[in-house]
Amino acid sequence: MPELPEVETIRTQLQKVLVGKKITNVEVSLPKMVKLDLVKFKKIIIGAKIKSVSRRAKILVFNLSNGWSLLVHLKMSGRLIFRKKGEAPKELDKKWNHLIYHFADGSRLFHNDLRQFGYVKLWATEKLADFFAKEKLGPEPLEKDFSLDDFLAILASRPKVKIKQFLLDQKNIAGIGNIYSDEILFFAGVHPLRRVNELKPAEIKKLYNGIKKILAEAIKHHGTSDNDYLDAFGEKGDYARRLKVYGRQKEKCGKCGGQIQRLKINGRSAHFCPNCQK
């Protein structure tokens, strides 16, 4: 957490409010989150304007006017909260807050992170492709050019892998985590322990359609506030009440009335309905 829908929600919101703003200062209270010497970090970003906010997988990219890009990975519990000029900081802006970006118009962007796994990096914009190549990220699942044939080819390269693990591996497909892998598998009626080479063509097609459908719906509802996630304005996402299996162990399945179960696969949780998913 946050996964693709949550990061995309934040990206869309910040694109609307940050583009054109000039960074006048940045406060850093937890230096380890910034993967660069702080003097150099501040020298590069202070005075720069934000040209655009993009995303690759779960990483936010703030493209600056000086040829640099600010990369932010929120990891497990990171938040980016925007406050306009004159808007008093809320309690959540102060809690676990590690960076504050100040803009020329008086607005601020708060970066807080309870577990402190997230990071901030600077990278030359023209060399971003090199950075993401090193990350070895799979395709963006919501891009139009991510086709069923592409999905089939990636599956064929990992025949012995359990499908839950396959969906979680960012080298296969970018941006899917625990929440949406569970929901995609339920949508397709596929048990999380099934191996890729056991899947039937109809199941593969339904998995592909589920990836497209569920991620898009989650973005539409501003993501899932299951734990720490809040959007760029400090609001909860609305998709949690639409979850069919994730976080619902021992509850009734809304489809068949059976009991939703939870198991561990290599240290990660998987929620599923044993009746609906085979």
Q: Which of 75, 194, 236, 268 is catalytic?
A: 268
Task: Report CA-CA distances (Å) from 158 to 78, 140, 169, 186.
Answer: 31, 18, 11, 21
The reply to whether 158 belongs to the active site is no
Q: Which of 11, 55, 56, 58 is catalytic?
A: 58
Q: Which of 3, 6, 8, 183 is catalytic?
A: 3
- Structure tokens, 265: 């696969």
Helix axes 201-220 and 4-18, enclosed angle (nearest 10): 40
Helix, strand or coil, per DSSP, at residue 172: coil
The reply to whether 194 belongs to the active site is no
The reply to whether 241 belongs to the active site is no
Cβ neighbours of 38 (radius 10 Å): 11
Q: Which of 2, 5, 141, 192 is catalytic?
A: 2
The reply to whether 79 belongs to the active site is no
Please report the beta strands in 139-215, taking only residues with DSSP state E, as ranges in sequence order. none
Q: Which residues pair with 26 in a beta bridge?
A: 101
Provide the 8-state DSSP code for 76: T
d(CA 7, CA 17): 16
Catalytic residues: 2-3, 58, 268
